[in-house]
Amino acid sequence: MTDRWALAPAEEGGVDVAPLGPDGLPAGPVRREPDLAEAVRSRPGVRRWVWRSTTEVYPRLLATGVRVERVYDIEAAETLLLGHEGRYGEPRAAAAALARLRGGPVPPDPPQRQAEPGAQPSLFEPQSVPLPLADLLAVYAEQQRRTGATAHPDRMRLLTAAESAGMLVAAEMNHAGLPWRADVHRAVLHDLLGERYAGGGEPRRLAELADEVSAAFGRRVRPDLPADVVKAFAQAGIKVSSTRRWELESVDHPAVEPLIEYKKLYRIRVAHGWSWLQDWVRDGRFRPEFHAGGTVTGRWVTNGGGALQIPKVIRRAAVADPGWRLVVADADQMEPRVLAAISRDPGLMEVAGRETDLYQAVSDRAFSGDRAQAKLAVLGAVYGQTSGDGLKNLAALRRRFPKAVAYVDEAARAGEEGRLVRTWLGRTCPPAARTTDDAVEEAGIPPTEEDRASDTRPWTPGYASTDARARGRFARNFVVQGSAADWTLLLLAALRRTLGGMAAELVFFQHDEVIVHCPEAEAATVVEAIRQAAELAGRLTFGRTLVRFPFTTAVVECYADAK
């Protein structure tokens, strides 16, 4: 009995399975069995399943109560490998990989399914080319060879394993859902927006604010129409180029205050109001569809319900089941800690080697104790700030933490020049297509006055174009945000393993924050499990490092009470 098996769904709910040897090659004949779930359930000794797509297979297993320990997701690995090989534009599906292997015509990727409000989580992927197990195994063997050919095969293996684990976690979260009290949600909406009038129309509070706005302008103005608002201000002798809040805040006019309040509440209504409740909450659970690896940086995305943007006030409705708790865990200053780990800047590593407030420590060293300024400088360095106070702060940061700033600077330069940029574990940033802007620059044509007017930096020969600099900022951010995503995947994988034997379930994940739903008696164990998982993830991802990855954890009944 080997501990690694491959499977491929077959017709009529059946499945083909095959044992694999330590080398990843078949160690026995392919067997056809009538029931997918039973084939997995009857092999509890399997430590890792190799399959084409977790999204395709795992929901069907979860629906019958079957969980697996580990997987190798061939589609995910193919995406990562193609990226690493600088072949971003090519079709990523396993079927395409097989076709390339055999030198035949390469089929395009299957189209992405669109989110539909209220739709059941998809049990099956959209039309994709079914792949017989023998073909799948050929692709798998070739992927292992390609993994061995990368710059850091050990890291790439870790990355594919972590991405696969992330897909398991995402499927399990989709299965579980986030505990959600519709009655509490309705109470919050009523509290904020007032009662709704019969026959549609706006709720009372919104209608009142709209009236206040109109009264301030002396005519009927629709506050939800930016064009109408801009026109109304113009008629009042005030020139605004948009109705963004930061712009309105500097305007002195009686309409501003009710307008800003209106926009705030309007947003709650359209994005998380009564129809949201109707669409995304069923049986006491909010059910978005988490999708691991949905962005090029490795961050997750969700499909439906804006699950990664739940406004703070609405979190009041995320409430644990009776007798259960939500363990809400938030990584402290994750991005600068990751920057310390990947850049190996001695000063920043020393600062990140403590569990105390990192921004305070940075400010003590480089900003005479001004924490807010230190935080802006660090985030500016990570986000590619190019103007204002940011530049001055960046200079201070560079003096004290030169290797850290040099690391992101180098990433930005590589991005500008169209070179490949990778996260710590090897996820690769797609080089953007060349633009006409680039071509113009390379042809040595100086920019027009208009170009320069829209630019923040003076033009000099050899300077990158506006587009190239945008790519530079993207690449600068990519190495930090992406390496952070590497780490969080390992964290999730480690945490998932620890929770394996418990009633606790992972129910939410958002970039640097996880929520575990568990019986009250398990909460303390879960808190400790998160701490240990963070430590293990740090070691696995970055090797031996001084950098610590502390979490702020809260054991609460309601998500809104966590901060």
Mention every residue, 6+ apart, whose C-beta is less than 8 A from residue 501.
none
Residue length of the chain? 563
CB of 559: closest distance to DNA in angstroms? 10
- Rounded CA-CA distance 491/338 in Å is 13
Stretch that binds DNA, among 29-37, 309-317, 436-444, 539-547 (CB under 7 A): 309-317
- Rounded CA-CA distance 495/166 in Å is 11
Distance linking the first and last C-alpha atoms of the chain? 49
Q: Is 275 in the site for DNA (CB under 7 A)?
A: yes
Q: Is 310 in the site for DNA (CB under 7 A)?
A: yes
**Comparison of 157 and 291: residue with beta carbon closer to DNA:** 291
- Amino acid residing at 49: W
Stretch that binds DNA, among 50-58, 170-178, 506-514, 546-554 (CB under 7 A): 506-514
Stretch that binds DNA, among 33-41, 269-277, 354-362, 552-560 (CB under 7 A): 269-277
| 346, 510, 527, 557: which one binds DNA (CB under 7 A) | 510
| 24, 26, 121, 294: which one binds DNA (CB under 7 A) | 294
CB of 332: closest distance to DNA in angstroms? 10
Residue 207-226 contact track with DNA, rule CB under 7 A, x = bound = -----------------xxx
| 293, 305, 431, 538: which one binds DNA (CB under 7 A) | 305
Q: Is 282 in the site for DNA (CB under 7 A)?
A: no
- Rounded CA-CA distance 231/240 in Å is 9
Q: Is 306 in the site for DNA (CB under 7 A)?
A: yes
Q: Which CA distances in Å does 390 have to 250, 371, 376, 382? A: 21, 14, 7, 11
Stretch that binds DNA, among 99-107, 156-164, 372-380, 419-427 (CB under 7 A): 372-380
Q: In the range 65-94, which residues lie near DNA by CB under 7 A?
A: none
CB of 64: closest distance to DNA in angstroms? 28
Total residues interacting with DNA, rule: CB under 7 A: 60
Residue 400-419 contact track with DNA, rule CB under 7 A, x = bound = --------------------
Q: For residue 69, with 0-12 CB atoms within 10 Å meaning exposed, 13-18 middle and 19 or more buried, which class applies?
A: middle
| 128, 144, 164, 481: which one binds DNA (CB under 7 A) | 481
Q: Is 332 in the site for DNA (CB under 7 A)?
A: no
Q: Is 337 in the site for DNA (CB under 7 A)?
A: no
Stretch that binds DNA, among 4-12, 30-38, 242-250, 316-324 (CB under 7 A): 242-250
- Rounded CA-CA distance 113/96 in Å is 19
Q: Is 390 in the site for DNA (CB under 7 A)?
A: yes
Q: Is 511 in the site for DNA (CB under 7 A)?
A: yes
Q: Is 452 in the site for DNA (CB under 7 A)?
A: no
User: Alpha-carbon dihedral of residues 508, 510, 513, 519, nearest 10 degrees?
Assistant: 0
| 474, 487, 508, 549: which one binds DNA (CB under 7 A) | 474
Stretch that binds DNA, among 21-29, 39-47, 66-74, 265-273 (CB under 7 A): 265-273
Whether the CB-CB separation of 255 and 206 falls below 8 Å is answered with no
**DSSP readout, 484-508?**
HHHHHHHHHHHHHHHHTTSS-EEEE
Full 3-state SS string of 54-70: HHHHHHHHHHCCCCCCC
Q: Is 279 in the site for DNA (CB under 7 A)?
A: yes
The residues pairing with 327 across neighbouring beta strands, listed in sequence order, are: 516, 555
CB of 276: closest distance to DNA in angstroms? 6
Q: Is 111 in the site for DNA (CB under 7 A)?
A: no
Nearest to 174 by CA among 43, 301, 50, 7: 301
- Tokens 């399997």 correspond to what residue? 46
**Comparison of 117 and 218: residue with beta carbon closer to DNA:** 117
| 27, 106, 207, 308: which one binds DNA (CB under 7 A) | 308
Q: Is 372 in the site for DNA (CB under 7 A)?
A: no
Stretch that binds DNA, among 8-16, 96-104, 165-173, 296-304 (CB under 7 A): 296-304
DSSP state of 435: -
| 513, 535, 557, 561: which one binds DNA (CB under 7 A) | 513
Q: Determine how β-strand 31-33 pairs with β-strand 513-519.
A: unpaired
Q: Is 304 in the site for DNA (CB under 7 A)?
A: yes
CB of 437: closest distance to DNA in angstroms? 14
CB of 407: closest distance to DNA in angstroms? 15
Q: How far is CA 251 from the centre of its chain?
A: 36
| 147, 303, 465, 545: which one binds DNA (CB under 7 A) | 303
Nearest to 45 by CA among 88, 93, 100, 4: 4
Radius of gyration from C-alpha coordinates of the chain: 26
CB of 490: closest distance to DNA in angstroms? 17
Q: In the range 431-450, which residues lie near DNA by CB under 7 A?
A: none
Q: Is 243 in the site for DNA (CB under 7 A)?
A: yes
Burial 169-179 (b: 16+ CB within 10 A, else e): bbbbbbbbbbb
Q: How many CB atoms lie within 10 A of CB 236?
A: 15
**Comparison of 78 and 512: residue with beta carbon closer to DNA:** 512
- Tokens 């807010």 correspond to what residue? 372
Full 3-state SS string of 74-101: HHHHHHHHHHHCCCCCCCCCHHHHHHHH
Q: Is 201 in the site for DNA (CB under 7 A)?
A: no
Stretch that binds DNA, among 43-51, 92-100, 203-211, 471-479 (CB under 7 A): 471-479
Nearest to 510 by CA among 281, 300, 315: 300
**Dihedral-angle region of residue 298 (phi above 0 means left; psi in -120 to 50 means alpha; beta otherwise):** left
Q: Which residues sit at the interface with DNA, rule CB under 7 A? A: 115, 117, 224-228, 230, 242-246, 260, 263-264, 267, 270-271, 275-276, 279, 288, 294-297, 299, 301-306, 308-312, 376, 379-380, 383-390, 456, 470, 473-474, 477, 481, 510-513
